[in-house]
Structure 1
Amino acid sequence: MTGSRKLGLGILAFIAIVGVGLGVMFGFKAVKPKQSQPRIVATTYAVVQIADKLQLPLVGVPTTANKIPERYKNVTRVGSPMNPNVEKIAGLKPTVVYSVTTLADQFGKAFSKRHIKPYFLNLTSVSALETTVRQMGRRYHRQSQATRAIKQVETAKQTAKQVAAGYHHHPKVLVLMGLPGASYMIGTNRSYIGNLVSISGGRNVFTSKDQEYIQPNDESIKKAKPDVILRLEHALPKMVTAQFNQTFKQDPMWQTIPAVKHHRVYDLQEPDFDATANMRAAIAISKISKWLYPQSGGTT
């Protein structure tokens, strides 16, 4: 009897231990909190494009004339990239606010007063874009989406490289960024468009070690004799295009430039082109490649 009783007590103890263990395990699962959904605010269209490619949720997007992806059509608009609405952003209770490094100076005291510290993504070049997308993919567990997006850009780069390799002459390119108010800046090799030119096999006629844009100089432009001119219409495109056309028509200097003489002046418009890199980089590379190495001459 004593042996049977001990055996019985042992079995009961074992069952009790197992029961407690199972209870703890299932109890932990029952009370384990769900992983909180990130509340991301994108203050530039380029960041929205990255988020869309990575299928990320957004609670705030910039106010822009560009078409917002369908998944974000009902998301709160937070103002222009250069002047976002701090109060509106704060009201969204974001876990992170993304902008780009080129706009870092626009985010000052207003944000710090609301204890909001924006994170600035480096989109100054195609390689920087790829690095940023890869990092974002890891951070939000979207590695497969990031890989697909980067592959599209890499394919375009390789195609452009192969096209350029078939030519002995690599055209000299002048990059202009139009500004509302009848003015423009020259984009160097350090600018995003300058980077696209390099990838596509062109030679930027203005280079710099650290400046993306420099002041124009008529004598330097005439001396450079660019074969191709790329005009970026970044802000208020209709106005900027009209300004460019008027300047090129009225200023006799432009009529001496080979690119103008041979009708190889091209207007770069959003959303394919911008002052910073974006997820339409593959399309931008393809277009510039065709402009630099046309099959049957250039067109205006």
Structure 2
Amino acid sequence: MKSPRRTALIVIIILVVIGIAAGSFASHQIAQKRHQERIVATTYAVVQIADKLKLPLVGIPNTANKIPARYQNVTKIGNPMNPSAEKIASVKPTAVYSVTTLKDQFGKSFKQQHIKPYFLNLQSVSDLQHVVTKMGAQYDRQSEAKAANHEINQAVANAKQRANGRQRPRVLVLMGLPGAGYMIATNHSYVGNLVQLAGGQNVFASKDQEYIQPSDEAIQKARPQVILRLEHAMPEMVADQFNSEFKSQSFWRQTPAVQSKRVYDLQEPDFDATANMHAAKALDEVSQWLYPGSK
């Protein structure tokens, strides 16, 4: 007859074996699920998020920006403004991601290919962090998501400390458009959100609009102390447009920002119309422009 001690030992061994087997099976299931994910990123901002989370991609947008090494040989699916539904369908995606600001660009061709994109809200830094957290949980990348968000949180804390106790500068944010002049970016735009986090006062606020039409008279009246010029898409052309505008229109020379040479050009990849994984660096730059001479 077996002793109670020996029986208990046998039971413990059996439970340990079962636990190891169950853990191995769960790990295998997770690995298999990861292998089966076929994700398409239609914008560079989504590519950056995927890279931070170490996600596999089977489709990426055509872009002049530097593509992360892990995606060098991934299929190009066209311009973010007009991606090819046919090319996306050809890679047999399990998920297709774009951003909310481009939602109207996805028309009938996507429905015909039975493609239903997910539109990520990247209009602010907090929106970006929410997306990173959610995707981290969805694809079992919680540790990567936590690290990415910690970097942003640290930048926000640094900016807040730099602005503490100092007078808020009046800031004008412009978004240049190739061949079409510029728009004014309000507090609801991404760069406007960076200005807010950095402790600046956007001279053009809105209840719901991201961008509004420029008004020479309103700009003169606002007397911005800092001007941020976002060179969105075709930066060289937009930069030339801005320089020509600031030379030809005399009212610019009357603004405090121009007089004190506090006009800064914002370019990709650190800056864009939507939030991206360069948010921490972008916020740090804006913070130092608004509060120069501080650590």
Larger Rg: 1
| Aligned equivalent of 2:270 | 272
Q: CA deviation at 1:216?
A: 0.2
| Aligned equivalent of 1:135 | 134
Looking at structure 2, the residues matched to 269 and 77 of structure 1 have their Cα atoms a distance apart, in angstroms, of 23
Given candidates 200, 205, 209, the residue that maps to 1:202 is 200
Output the aligned Cα RMSD: 1.8
- The unaligned stretches of length 5 or more in structure 1 are 1-21
Looking at structure 1, the residues matched to 161 and 111 of structure 2 have their Cα atoms a distance apart, in angstroms, of 48
Q: CA deviation at 1:166?
A: 3.7
Which amino acid is the alignment partner of residue 69 of structure 1? Answer: P
Looking at structure 1, the residues matched to 72 and 85 of structure 2 have their Cα atoms a distance apart, in angstroms, of 21
| Aligned equivalent of 1:174 | 172
Relative to the length of structure 2, the TM-score reads 0.88
Looking at structure 1, the residues matched to 180 and 147 of structure 2 have their Cα atoms a distance apart, in angstroms, of 41
Q: Give the match's secondary structure for 2:264.
A: strand
Q: CA deviation at 1:87?
A: 0.6
| Aligned equivalent of 1:231 | 229
Aligned counterparts, 1:53-132, within 5 A:
53-132=52-131
Cα pair 1:182 1:240 within 8 Å, conserved: no
Given candidates 238, 245, 252, the residue that maps to 1:254 is 252
Cα pair 1:175 1:204 within 8 Å, conserved: yes
Looking at structure 2, the residues matched to 235 and 227 of structure 1 have their Cα atoms a distance apart, in angstroms, of 26
Looking at structure 1, the residues matched to 157 and 165 of structure 2 have their Cα atoms a distance apart, in angstroms, of 13
Which amino acid is the alignment partner of residue 73 of structure 1? Answer: Q
Looking at structure 1, the residues matched to 108 and 261 of structure 2 have their Cα atoms a distance apart, in angstroms, of 48
Which amino acid is the alignment partner of residue 234 of structure 2? Answer: L
Q: Give the match's secondary structure for 2:270.
A: coil
Percent same amino acid among aligned pairs? 65
Q: CA deviation at 1:182?
A: 4.5
Q: Give the match's secondary structure for 2:265.
A: strand
Looking at structure 2, the residues matched to 251 and 219 of structure 1 have their Cα atoms a distance apart, in angstroms, of 12
Relative to the length of structure 1, the TM-score reads 0.87
Structure 1 stretches of 4+ moved >6 Å = none
Q: Give the match's secondary structure for 1:219.
A: helix
Q: Give the match's secondary structure for 2:36.
A: coil
**Greater displacement, 33-42 / 211-220:** 33-42
Q: Give the match's secondary structure for 1:59.
A: strand
| Aligned equivalent of 1:221 | 219
| Aligned equivalent of 2:153 | 154
Cα pair 1:54 1:145 within 8 Å, conserved: yes
Q: CA deviation at 1:124?
A: 0.4
